[in-house]
Amino acid sequence: MAKRFARALAASCLFPLIPAAQAADLPDYQSNSDWFTDGASRVESRAAESRSDVTAKNVILFVGDGMGISTLTAARILEGQLRGEDGEENALSFEEFPHSALIKTYNTNQQTSDSAGTMTAMMTGVKTRAGVINVDEEALRADCAGSQGRELNTFLELMESRGRSTGIVSTARITHATPAATYARSPERDWEYSADGDCTDIAAQLVELEVGDGLDVILGGGRRNFITADDGGKREDGRDLTAEWLQRYDGEQQAVYLQSGAELAALDPASTDKLLGLFTSSHMSYDADRVAKGADEPSIAEMTTAAIDLLQKNDDGYFLMVESGRIDHGHHAGNAYSALHDAIAFSDAVRAATEKVDLKETLILVTADHSHVLTIAGYPTRGNPILGKMITNDASGAPQAEAGAAADGLPYTTLSYANGLGYADRGDETDADLRYNLAADTGRVDLSAVDTAAPGFHQEALVPLGSESHAGEDISLHATGAGSRLVQGTLEQSAVFHLMVGATGLSVTAE
């Protein structure tokens, strides 16, 4: 069945006008928001300097959740060292992109942000509060009634309403804050399988999405939020949303529901119109854990290429959002090993996508939603293992035989956290989510006999917290392909929406 759509008018300006019949795409309070108009103005000024007749038919937005600058640096070094190099001279795939910018990540009510508010900014062009998804800053968190009439529409919905195909990929639950912000509206990010008042939970919003004919590709974790408690899920309303999703397309399009990596590997994209893959009950495995334990889950690169295979069948183009959610979770656990290996897997996914698409008609953006308090410190010699203990040079420039010591006489690692659960040593354990209690003595630990490069090592932390926190500094945005020259300077996070609109020439206003 042909996708239902209305074509936008061909135009030469950055934000072309559309017929009044399509005026409902963005509510006035969204397009008149100061965040929105400022972002549009800034992108337009950049576009005036690099105007081109070429517009992007496709957009792929990669989001490394929690992938701050220190994470990029450490992951870059680790990837090189895994190949036997010093590491510092290495570059992750997207660090080779020709255009980049810095992005300011604060929420309207917080100096250090959360994923719900930051992804809302990227998807709608409007900054908002922490904890809310695609409702503006006038709505309070968890206030269902107060959020009504304050909902924001997303770039994914704009693409879907204009006949483009749409997809989301995540290693987190597909209803978690970052992927949810592409399609849902909720004053509470935690309403993944149930909601208060007249609000609809996020999972139900996904399968009921009315724009166009709904999402074309959905791949990630979080099966429990779609099925009933009797079937091992979280839903208490008796609804099996996976069955409802299949029923929605029955007799009209070929819809496929998958639960394993093997099933995804065997998929025939040519005979598939709609694809839903929920590979785990909650979040997908850390990449190191997936490999070590042989989990029947696809890698983020495999999900990305499968999504592109299906989406690119639409000659009118597509939008794909790919999130590496477990980078963030590894950091929250205070386990740099898991966070960095997931960042490397994320880089592999970006490389796979870049090699698969035509960059003359595809814009690829790679960014983060926020940073983390991972630090790279001391004066280790070049090539020192990034997950190892700090080793300095002697007077001749040669590495010291013994690890460098802090003022208390104890060795320390190059990587540490400003806060969090702190030191733990689980040896070869790759599941960073296994919880542990803060030691009663929060002082330094003698690491002399500890293998700090092992998967189960959790870095020391300065301030004891039950979970390591986000950080508030700027994050990076990397771009290649059609329209990528618009990416430059230091931008508000809400400008990412306008970069995508500017590159595609999508209509967002009415005459």
The stretches of 319-358 forming alpha helices (DSSP H) are 326-332, 336-356
Torsion of CA 357, 363, 364, 368, to 10 degrees: -160
At residue 181, the 3 state secondary structure works out as coil
Q: Is 352 within 8 Å of 305 (Cβ atoms)?
A: yes
In angstroms, how far is CA 90 from the centroid of its own chain? 23
Give the pLDDT confidence score for residue 2 in this predicted structure: 35
State residue 405's pLDDT score: 81
User: What is the predicted pLDDT for the residue at 323?
Assistant: 98
Give pLDDT, residue 45.
Answer: 64
User: Annotated catalytic, 115?
Assistant: yes
Ranges of beta strands (E only) in 74-142 are: 99-104
**pTM reported for the whole predicted model:** 0.90
Cα–Cα distance for residue pair 281/279, rounded to 1 Å: 7
Q: Find the helix or strand (DSSP H, E) in which 304 lies.
A: helix 300-311
Find, among 362, 271, 346, the residue nearest to 303 by Cα: 346
Question: Which of 379, 479, 392, 373 lies closest to 71, judged by CA?
Answer: 373
Helix (H, G, I), strand (E, B) or coil at 350: helix
pLDDT at position 9: 25
For the chain, give the number of residues. Answer: 511
Catalytic residue among 31, 100, 113, 115: 115
pLDDT in tens, the chain (511 residues): 334 323 332 332 333 322 333 334 788 888 888 878 888 877 776 665 555 545 899 999 999 999 999 999 999 999 999 999 999 999 999 999 999 999 999 999 999 999 999 999 999 999 999 999 999 999 999 999 999 999 999 999 999 999 999 999 999 999 999 999 999 999 999 999 999 999 999 999 999 999 999 999 999 999 999 999 999 999 999 999 999 999 999 999 999 999 999 999 999 999 999 999 999 999 999 999 999 999 999 999 999 999 999 999 999 999 999 999 999 999 999 999 999 999 999 999 999 999 999 999 999 999 999 999 999 999 899 999 999 998 766 666 665 655 568 888 899 999 999 999 999 999 999 999 987 766 545 678 999 999 999 999 999 999 999 999 999 999 999 999 999 998 999 999 999 999 999 999 987 764 3
With beta carbons less than 8 A apart as the criterion, state whether 476 and 100 touch. yes
Q: How far apart are CA 244 and CA 280, in angstroms?
A: 19
Sequence-ordered alpha helix ranges (H) in 15-114:
28-31, 34-49, 69-82
pLDDT of residue 392: 67
Cα–Cα dist 120/124, whole Å:
6
What pLDDT score was predicted for residue 198? Answer: 96
Q: Does domain 17-374+469-510 have CATH number 3.40.720.10?
A: yes
Domain ranges of the chain: 17-374+469-510
